[in-house]
Structure 1
Amino acid sequence: MIPAPFAYARPTTVDEALQAIADGGEDVKIMAGGQSLIPVMRLRLAAPETVVDLSKVAELRGVRDDGDAIVIGAMTTHHDVLVDPLIAQHAPLIAEATETVADRQVRARGTFGGALAHADPAGDLPAVALALDAEFVIAGPGGARRTVPAADFFVDYLTTALEEGELLVEIRVPKLAGEWGMHYEKFNRVAQAWSIVAVAAAVRREDGQIAEARIGLTNMGPTPLRARAAEAALAGAAASADAIAAAAQSAAEGTSPSSDLNGQADYRRHLAQVLTRRAVTAAAGL
């Protein structure tokens, strides 16, 4: 189908983008890679008054070192994330999850920030951002900026902390000190599909024990979730298959998975336990 008529703006700076959003009327959509927006516009499930295309805002692209964190521009494509040496060094979990996003064509156009701002609970990157304690830098009217931790950024289904007139400009990922291992474990029906359930795990080992574990869950509720009970059970536990298996039994505590054609809620809870065991085992190097 053909989208409904809309006005189109293509700014070249963040300030121009914010002004275009302010001038765009009551219903403005921001287009990053367009991989989620364009299909719903073609189906007329969305009919914005104005589309603000960020593809020419160069300052929103790229990855840089910022001392205790790496900073990923919101318009950095999935492909560029995959090949970036800073991400490979400091946040390989991001690259591993990004490699499972859709197909090569989508990864060439889709963007890191766009996927996060879309906030689909079945998307691969929100749970990773949560597990890595990422922070989201948001620009608002007048150039004011604020920083929102990942734990507060995802509010509800397809809903984030972004307010009217605001724009996600970059994501800060803290560099982790110590001996960390990371792994992303995804279960889907066919290759390139959305996750039925997935688990992002980061594990810090110390003296043969798991000193700390961070576990993000994909598609176990309307937002990405941390498996807090499993994290607590792993803290201080032996880095062994038995200890990890025992802790993984609590991975679905506090979750609210949906039931649909891909799986019932109890099936997803079972998957969360199985995939947590696999992800933590791989992250722990066992």
Structure 2
Amino acid sequence: MDLNTVVEIRDAREPRPWRPGDAWLGGGTYLFSEPQPHLRRLVDLSRTDWEPVRRHPDGSLEIAATCTIARLSRFAKGLSVQAAPLFEQCCRAFLASFKIWNMATVGGNLCNALPAGPMISLTAALDGECLLVAQDGVRRRVRVADFVTGAGRKDLAEGELLRSVTLPARALDCRTAFRQASLYGLGRSGVLVIGALDPLDGSLAVTVTASTVRPIRLWFPLPPTAVALRAAIDAAVADDEWFDDIHGLPEWRRHMTYRYAEEIRKEVLR
């Protein structure tokens, strides 16, 4: 879609004061999908040449905000960690063609903050941490589970940039289990639940996305009983936090979350 209110596109490598009507341009798959009448200038990140994915000496994995879904999928195929299958499972949870895969970015998916965003699911489940950079250069770090605060809402100040997401080595070594449901084939996720069992201490993290307006990450020092797991979900998700749209009623999303969380609990205990 043409954005006929945009009068300028500037290179992000050329520092200029941020002003009202500015927006970061990553892959542009959301920006150009619908009218954006409030925008006047796009700040293009495509020439920053940030390394898409980097493995640090401590074993952690840093994913640049500009890393495309296709690039992340290719990288994960050669990743020798226990959680490697989860990357492809989340990439495949996109309601997207190969054209979108090659343009859509990890950072864009997080910053859209949609409940069904599978990169939110992936990075929240693996205890990811966002690196945010303000216009004055000040940096801060926020856990992905806290970065997305609601449907379309995130902890991002005006002009602030999501630079990357880092996944800790310990989370990458977790055994994972994945469940996803849509109302129809190849449809947008209505429920997505991920379990991650830590082999070092036996702790279990259960992350709920798509069915809720924000990611819910539950951590248990030891795998809980079925009753304790359901009670933890009830305590963590307020009644008005079950998402409601044409892709699923809150009651259905809640029911499927309980079901998938229990399936995951049993799977990781095998």
How would you bin the TM-score normalised by the shorter chain?
0.7 to 0.9
Cα 1:47–1:135, aligned 2, differ >3 Å: closer, same or farther? Answer: same
1:240 aligned partner: none
Q: Any idea what the Cα deviations from partners look like across 1:179-208, whole Å, max 9, x if unmatched?
A: 6211221101234432111112111257xx
1:55 aligns with 2:55: no
User: Would you say how many aligned residue pairs link Structure 1 and Structure 2?
Assistant: 263
Cα 1:212–1:70, aligned 2, differ >3 Å: closer, same or farther? Answer: same
Cα shift at 1:2? 3.8
Q: How far apart are the structure 2 equivalents of 1:277 and 1:177?
A: 21
Listed as ranges, the matches of 1:111-126 within 5 Å are 111-126=105-120
The question of whether the paired residues in 1 share the 8 Å contact of 2:133 and 2:139 is answered with yes
Which SS does the other structure have where 2:197 is aligned? strand
1:107 aligned partner: 101
RMSD of Structure 2 on Structure 1 (CA): 2.7
Cα 1:66–1:7, aligned 2, differ >3 Å: closer, same or farther? Answer: farther
1:162 aligns with 2:156: yes
1:235 aligns with 2:216: no
Cα shift at 1:89? 2.2
The question of whether the paired residues in 2 share the 8 Å contact of 1:10 and 1:56 is answered with no
2:251 aligned partner: 266
Unpaired segments of 5 or more residues in structure 2? none
The question of whether the paired residues in 2 share the 8 Å contact of 1:202 and 1:280 is answered with no
2:25 aligned partner: 31
Which SS does the other structure have where 2:207 is aligned? strand
Q: How far apart are the structure 2 equivalents of 1:141 and 1:189?
A: 42
Residue identity opposite 1:107 in structure 2: W
Unpaired segments of 5 or more residues in structure 1? 238-242
Residue identity opposite 1:278 in structure 2: E
1:257 aligns with 2:227: no
The question of whether the paired residues in 1 share the 8 Å contact of 2:183 and 2:248 is answered with no
The question of whether the paired residues in 2 share the 8 Å contact of 1:221 and 1:258 is answered with yes
TM-score by length of 1: 0.80
Which SS does the other structure have where 1:249 is aligned? helix
Cα 1:122–1:59, aligned 2, differ >3 Å: closer, same or farther? Answer: same
Identity, % of aligned positions: 22
- The structure with more helix, counted as a fraction of residues: 1
Q: How far apart are the structure 1 equivalents of 2:60 and 2:142?
A: 15
1:198 aligned partner: 192
Listed as ranges, the matches of 1:125-204 within 5 Å are 125-176=119-170, 180-204=174-198
Q: How far apart are the structure 2 equivalents of 1:66 and 1:179?
A: 15
Residue identity opposite 2:94 in structure 1: V
The question of whether the paired residues in 1 share the 8 Å contact of 2:82 and 2:174 is answered with no
The match for 2:89 among 71, 96, 111 is 96
Cα shift at 1:152? 2.5
Q: How far apart are the structure 2 equivalents of 1:138 and 1:258?
A: 27
Residue identity opposite 1:190 in structure 2: Y
Residue identity opposite 2:111 in structure 1: A
Question: Hey, which bits of structure 1, 4+ residues long, moved more than 6 A?
Answer: none
Cα 1:176–1:266, aligned 2, differ >3 Å: closer, same or farther? Answer: same
The match for 1:83 among 74, 80, 89 is 74
Cα shift at 1:220? 3.2
Cα shift at 1:61? 2.6
TM-score by length of 2: 0.85
Cα shift at 1:167? 0.8
